[in-house]
Structures are given as C-alpha cells and as structure tokens.
Amino acid sequence: MHAIPQHTRHLIERLLEAYCARICPPTARNTVLIGYRIEEDRVWLDELRRICGVPGTRRNLPVARFRYRAADGCWLLDERDDAGRWRRHRALAPTRSFLELLREVDADPDGAFWGRIDGKSLRWCSSKGRCAACDLRYGEVLGIAVSVPATLPRAQVADRCD
C-alpha cells in the first residue's frame, strides 16, 4: 500500500466535505448523514447511522470505496456485494480523475451504491424524488450543468428543498 499524495488528499478532502454537506438537505440531517474516511490508499464514502436509534451515536455503513494506485496515479471504484465483500464496480477503467468516480457513485445507474441503503436514501430529499434545489446543489458539487424547470424561477429554487 502506498499513501495518497498529501496534495491529492487535501483536494479529495475538500471535494468530499462539499459533497457530503450538500448531498442531503438540512432537514434530513437529524435522521441520516453521510461522511467519508481516508486511510492510506483508500477512501470510503459512508452512511452514518444512529446506533439503536440513540441520538448522538453513529456507526459507519460503507457505501463506496475508492482505491488509489500509486504506481500509475489512478483511482478504482469498488462496491459491496450481497455478502459484504468489496469488488470492482462494473467495468470502469482505472482513471486519474477521482471526480469522475464520485460522479459515477452519485449517478448510480445500477443501484449498486445508494440502492442498497435501507430506509431513507440520501440521494433524494423527499419520497417523491429530488427537488430542483437538490439538483442544482448536486450539479454545483459535481461540476455538471443542471437545467432548472421553466416553471420554476431560478431565484425560488433555493426555497424548494424539503
């Protein structure tokens, strides 16, 4: 194992802090949170669940794992199978872009990450899906363009998230 270079680590920490802070609306933070941890050459994105429903207690439930290969400076994305073992996510080629893999986790086209969480999903601010304000926040964090519905003025979008 080779540690993630310090400069890269700081960039990833800043990116993940912004992602975790914005992925879920403030009104849901008392019931569900996400966080991350970095150890040597691995980065985990975790759901932080209460232990037996006790406020102030949390346990990490891993959602995704990113692995850094020092030999070529590339990142790999892992998912957990039904037995709880980590395996490489689909046929994604190793990439030098951590953000590309984070976008894959956020989009989750196969339900490999967010689809396995019991109860409330952090990807949605309500049972009806993601509101326009959340879409804009996701777009900002992930650096992608998100269109606002024509019926919703951009100035009002910030007030829409439940």
Q: What is the pLDDT of residue 155?
A: 44
Q: How many angstroms separate the first and last alpha carbons of the chain?
A: 43
What's at 66, amino acid-wise? Answer: F
How far, CA to CA in Å, does 8 sit from each of 26, 43, 51, 142, 157?
29, 12, 33, 17, 33
pLDDT recorded at residue 99: 92
Question: Which distant-in-sequence residues (6+ apart) come within 8 Å of 113 by Cβ?
Answer: 45, 63, 64, 79, 105
Angle between helices 132-142 and 98-107 (to 10 degrees): 160
Angle formed at CA 4 by CA 49 and CA 139, multiple of 5 degrees? 55
Q: Answer for the pair 45, 16: CB distance below 8 angstroms, yes or no.
A: yes
Cα distances (Å, whole numbers) of residue 89 to 31, 49, 75, 133: 28, 24, 12, 29
**pLDDT by 10-residue block (mean), the chain, 162 residues:** 89 92 66 85 88 78 93 94 89 90 83 58 51 65 58 42 36
Strand, coil or helix: 15: helix
